[in-house]
Amino acid sequence: MTSLRMHLIAVVALAGCQPVSLPDRPAAERSPDRPENGATWKVVRVIDGDTLEVLRDRKSLKIRLQGIDCPERQQAFGTEATQFTSQQSIDRQVILRTSGLDRYGRTLADVHLPDGRSLSRELVRSGFAWHYKKYSDDDALSRCEREARQAKRGLWAGTDPTPPWQWRAERRARQQPDSQELTIHPNGVAIVGLLPNPEGSDEGHEQATIGNTTQTAVDLDGWKLVDKAGNVFRLSGRVETGSDLVVTMTEPTMPLNNKGDSVLLVDPAGVGRSRASYLKSQVQPGVALTFLPTID
């Protein structure tokens, strides 16, 4: 076996969650975390562990770290996660690798620190975040989570930490009334269409269509959809009078069930205005279901 081959095998064997530095290479190539392209931004505010604000040329962006989920502020290690993100990034120049916007207008991105490390991986490696496996298949994040678990770092020091997505779902279930028990009070704003099974991937491509038969335009800020399980999708946008608004459900807080479901439209005052129900037999790939306003 040649010495070169032995050197390569050693590098592969050591590769894992820890970054591997190879000698005699430019800094941009040395770190596998550093994106090849991307603008440099300054971190000016940390909102919580996985949300921050950056600034460049007087333009600010609110960033949601992709691929991870930090404990909520009310959870154990929620404050520590926020402090860690602040210590690593505040007032520093970072590089963004973006992948679009979420429904709140935040830019989804992997944030790379000045030394090339991924902030998301550092949070997971240090035990201040989960790898959000439902929405990310990043092997490096999985390795970092395994490392943190084995070392009992941060939130893994406890016996059974509650993932933030489970914590949010349980909180919604406590706060939201059963949509099937609410009486509908129609007011001309209604669910007129649902696309529970779009062509290709369901996640981020399902749609709800809101119709407006009133004499005035309706601002949907504060309105929400609630499914049978109590999951909530918060609406935004404006429906003009006599028109429909197609809302693409990019935030996976209330996936439309392909096995059938009942979806309630609730106004900002908490009044049910419309209900749309469908069966498993009605769900076909790429076919939008249409509804007339429901009156209870």
Chain segment 34-43, per-residue pLDDT in tens: 333 578 999 9
pLDDT of residue 100: 85
Band of residue 251 on the pLDDT scale cut at 50, 70, 90: confident
Cβ atoms within 10 Å, residue 63: 26
More confident residue, 26 or 54: 54
Mean pLDDT to the nearest integer, 36-53: 88
DSSP for the chain? Answer: --HHHHHHHHHHHH-SSS--PPSSS-HHHH-TTS-SS--EEEEEEEEETTEEEEEETTEEEEEEETTEEPPPTTSTTHHHHHHHHHHHHTT-EEEEEEEEE-TTSPEEEEEE-TTS-BHHHHHHHTTS-EE-TTT---HHHHHHHHHHHHHT-GGGGSSSPPPHHHHHHHHHHHHSPPTTTSPB---SEEEEEEESS-SS--TTT-EEEEEE-SSS-EE-TT-EEE-TT--EEE--SEE-TT-EEEEE--STTSPPPTTEEEEEEE-TTS-EEEEEEEEGGG--TTPPEE-PPP--
Checking if the pLDDT of 44 tops 50, the result is: yes
Nearest-angstrom CA–CA distance, 274 and 294: 6
Checking if the pLDDT of 19 tops 50, the result is: no
Nearest-angstrom CA–CA distance, 124 and 155: 10
pLDDT of residue 203: 82
pLDDT of residue 248: 94
Please tell me whether residues 28 and 146 are part of one structural domain: yes
pLDDT of residue 180: 56
Checking if the pLDDT of 181 tops 80, the result is: no
Checking if the pLDDT of 18 tops 80, the result is: no
Band of residue 173 on the pLDDT scale cut at 50, 70, 90: low
In a domain, 7, yes or no: no
Chain segment 61-81, per-residue pLDDT in tens: 999 999 999 999 889 999 999
Mean pLDDT to the nearest integer, 4-15: 39
Please tell me whether residues 108 and 208 are part of one structural domain: no
Residue numbers of the domain that contains 246: 189-290
Band of residue 293 on the pLDDT scale cut at 50, 70, 90: low
Q: What is the CATH number of the domain that holds 113?
A: 2.40.50.90
The pTM of the full predicted model, rounded to 2 decimals, is 0.52
Please tell me whether residues 242 and 274 are part of one structural domain: yes
Mean pLDDT to the nearest integer, 218-242: 92
Catalytic residue annotation? 64, 72, 106
Nearest-angstrom CA–CA distance, 191 and 184: 12
In a domain, 2, yes or no: no
In a domain, 11, yes or no: no
Mean pLDDT to the nearest integer, 102-127: 92
pLDDT of residue 92: 97
Band of residue 284 on the pLDDT scale cut at 50, 70, 90: very high
In a domain, 81, yes or no: yes
The mean pLDDT of the chain is 84
Return the exposure string of 4-37: e unless at least 16 CB atoms fall within 10 Å of the residue's CB, then b. eeeeeeeeeeeeebebeeeeeeeeeebbebbbee
Question: Hey, what amino acid is at 176?
Answer: Q
Band of residue 158 on the pLDDT scale cut at 50, 70, 90: confident
In a domain, 138, yes or no: yes
Q: What is the CATH number of the domain that holds 224?
A: 2.60.40
How many domains is the chain partitioned into structurally?
2
Mean pLDDT to the nearest integer, 120-139: 94
**pLDDT above 70 coverage of the chain, percent:** 82
Please tell me whether residues 72 and 111 are part of one structural domain: yes
In a domain, 12, yes or no: no
Please tell me whether residues 160 and 202 are part of one structural domain: no
Q: How many residues does the chain have?
A: 296
When mean pLDDT is compared across 31-45, 106-120, 218-232, the lowest value belongs to: 31-45
Please tell me whether residues 154 and 264 are part of one structural domain: no
Band of residue 46 on the pLDDT scale cut at 50, 70, 90: very high
pLDDT of residue 24: 35
pLDDT of residue 252: 80
Mean pLDDT to the nearest integer, 193-201: 92
